[in-house]
Amino acid sequence: MQVDRTIAPPIHLISKIELPTPERIVLSNGIPVYISNMGTQEVMKLQIAIKAGRPYEDTQMAARATGRMLREGTKRLNSAEIAEAFDFYGASLSLPTSLDYSSLVYYSMTKHFPKLISLVTELLTQPVFPEKELTTFKENSKRRLQIDLTKNDVVAYRKITELIFGDAHPYGYNSTAEKYDRIQRKDLVQHFQKNFHANHCVIFLSGKINESILQLIDQHLGQIPAGIVQTPFFPTPNTAPPQKSQFFLPNSLQKAIRIGKRSMTRNHPDYIGFMVVNTILGGYFGSRLMMNIREDKGYTYNIYSLQDTMQQDACFYISTEVGNEFLKPTLKEIYLELDRLQTDLVPTEELEMVKNYLLGNMLNMVDGPFKVTNVVKTFVLENRPFEGFQQMVDLIRSISAQEIRDLAQKYLKAADMWEVVV
């Protein structure tokens, strides 16, 4: 069979990209549960998102410390017994804290869930935050921080977010050894009592879910007591004009570059359009920054730009590490690419590629229970209707080169950017 390899196979447009709408139930104590019951394997994920992030802190670092320490002892069990119980059934439990939320993320085979749901509930209702465990957490966190502070990329990230939001802002402050030292058991207890209650919780369930699991969830998590809804703290972010700053680490073979600014939340009318702009600039492998600075010049192993979106605010930044000798030419090319998006229209071929890439990406985002539940979570936590998913698809399909240039002119001005080199 002869085949003409010079002709690319035809590209088919993706006909259907839909977010499977989750089922919603409400527990006896009012906690909403969003259920994405799908998948082929007998596995499941339970995520409980609690409004208990940094904007709810009375003391800096209280959110992270409280979240991480939930598994270190309850009225009934010590840290070792808790770890043993989850490990024994091959379940995984993590306690990540984003800037806005504390979460409990549980994965296991569906069949083991009935044995562990009461323990999950216990962590959220009866933690005791033992002094000894808190000391271990503080000491080990400080050791890790000490290592992290020798890495260019970590230092650069800390600097730019601190500059953009200000060091008193919940999205801008950084952890330090002193802050770890300062945090006390009573701060954790207070943070827990104020924020870990039913009125601050939303639950996301995904994977193979059956009726008896839903009953168990209501029996247990439905008992989390109610509480007073707290007001998050959002001071005015840094209003100083952006600056360029350098903090060189000794003996470093590379420089880390971060260039960025405050940006918009997902509720902003320009959010989706700017997401397309960001993708063209540095949001995928074929992006301009990647094609120019890595694939043409070879200055770096990786360069990207991203929109980091929080509940009340957001930042946008470009990130790369380059050999010391490539610092100047890299900066020059980055600003050139920012400028090019504001001056020239995106060529039709490139726009088609980025649209198809984004649509394929959205199809991938709704492939399988655990990806679907992540999308569902984002919409729920930001109070957006699920129809927003379809609007994203439609807007990506319809956005024009002119609109992209307009958005770039509005949001990518070099004069608005903070620049950090470490």
Q: Which of residues 223-262 bind another protein (CB under 8 A)?
A: 251-254
Closest CA to 109 of 89, 128, 127, 79: 89
Closer residue to another protein, CB minimum distance, 9 or 241: 9
- Beta pairing class for 254-263 and 92-94: unpaired
Residues between 5 and 34 that touch another protein (CB under 8 A): 5-6, 8-9, 11-12, 14-16
Q: Which of 28, 118, 126, 150 binds another protein (CB under 8 A)?
A: 150
- Asked if residues 98 and 374 have their Cβ atoms less than 8 Å apart, the reply is no
Residue 203's Cα: distance from chain center in Å? 17
Q: Which of 144, 244, 268, 328 binds another protein (CB under 8 A)?
A: 144
Q: Which of 109, 306, 351, 395 binds another protein (CB under 8 A)?
A: 109
Beta bridge partners of 127: 74
Site string for another protein, 168-207 (x = CB under 8 A): ----------------------------------------
The one-character DSSP state at 129 is -
- Beta pairing class for 92-94 and 23-26: unpaired
Amino acid at 370: F
- The interface region with another protein, picked from 172-180, 225-233, 363-371, 383-391 by CB under 8 A, is 363-371
316 contacts another protein (rule: CB under 8 A): no
- Site size for another protein, by CB under 8 A? 79
- The interface region with another protein, picked from 156-164, 178-186, 194-202, 368-376 by CB under 8 A, is 368-376
Could you tell me the strand order of the sheet in which 254-263 lies?
Answer: 244-246, 418-421, 254-263, 314-323, 300-309
Closer residue to another protein, CB minimum distance, 250 or 269: 250
Closer residue to another protein, CB minimum distance, 7 or 240: 7
From the CB of 112, what's the least distance to another protein, in Å?
Answer: 8
Q: Which of 234, 335, 370, 386 binds another protein (CB under 8 A)?
A: 370
Closer residue to another protein, CB minimum distance, 118 or 146: 146
Residues between 396 and 415 that touch another protein (CB under 8 A): none
Show the tokens assigned to 324: 């010391």
Show the tokens assigned to 311: 């509940």
- Asked if residues 397 and 359 have their Cβ atoms less than 8 Å apart, the reply is yes
Q: Which of 36, 47, 103, 108 binds another protein (CB under 8 A)?
A: 108
| Residue 70 CB partners (closer than 8 Å, separation 6+) | 95, 104, 123, 124, 127
Look-up of token digits 């935050």? 129
The one-character DSSP state at 97 is B
From the CB of 79, what's the least distance to another protein, in Å?
Answer: 7
- Spatial distance between the Cα atoms of 182 and 130, rounded to a whole number of angstroms: 16
- Spatial distance between the Cα atoms of 318 and 324, rounded to a whole number of angstroms: 18
The one-character DSSP state at 78 is B
Instruction: Work out whether the CA dihedral 412, 273, 381, 372 comes out positive or negative.
Output: negative
From the CB of 418, what's the least distance to another protein, in Å?
Answer: 23
Could you tell me the strand order of the sheet in which 92-94 lies?
Answer: 23-26, 32-37, 201-207, 43-51, 101-109, 92-94
Closer residue to another protein, CB minimum distance, 8 or 415: 8
Q: Which of 367, 385, 397, 400 binds another protein (CB under 8 A)?
A: 367
Q: Which of 31, 33, 43, 341 binds another protein (CB under 8 A)?
A: 43
- The interface region with another protein, picked from 173-181, 183-191, 281-289, 333-341 by CB under 8 A, is 281-289
Residues between 62 and 101 that touch another protein (CB under 8 A): 71, 79-80, 82-84, 86-92
From the CB of 32, what's the least distance to another protein, in Å?
Answer: 25
- The interface region with another protein, picked from 117-125, 135-143, 185-193, 333-341 by CB under 8 A, is 135-143
Site string for another protein, 322-361 (x = CB under 8 A): xx----------------------------xxx-xx-xxx
114 contacts another protein (rule: CB under 8 A): no
Show the tokens assigned to 146: 């000490």
| Residue 292 CB partners (closer than 8 Å, separation 6+) | 333, 337
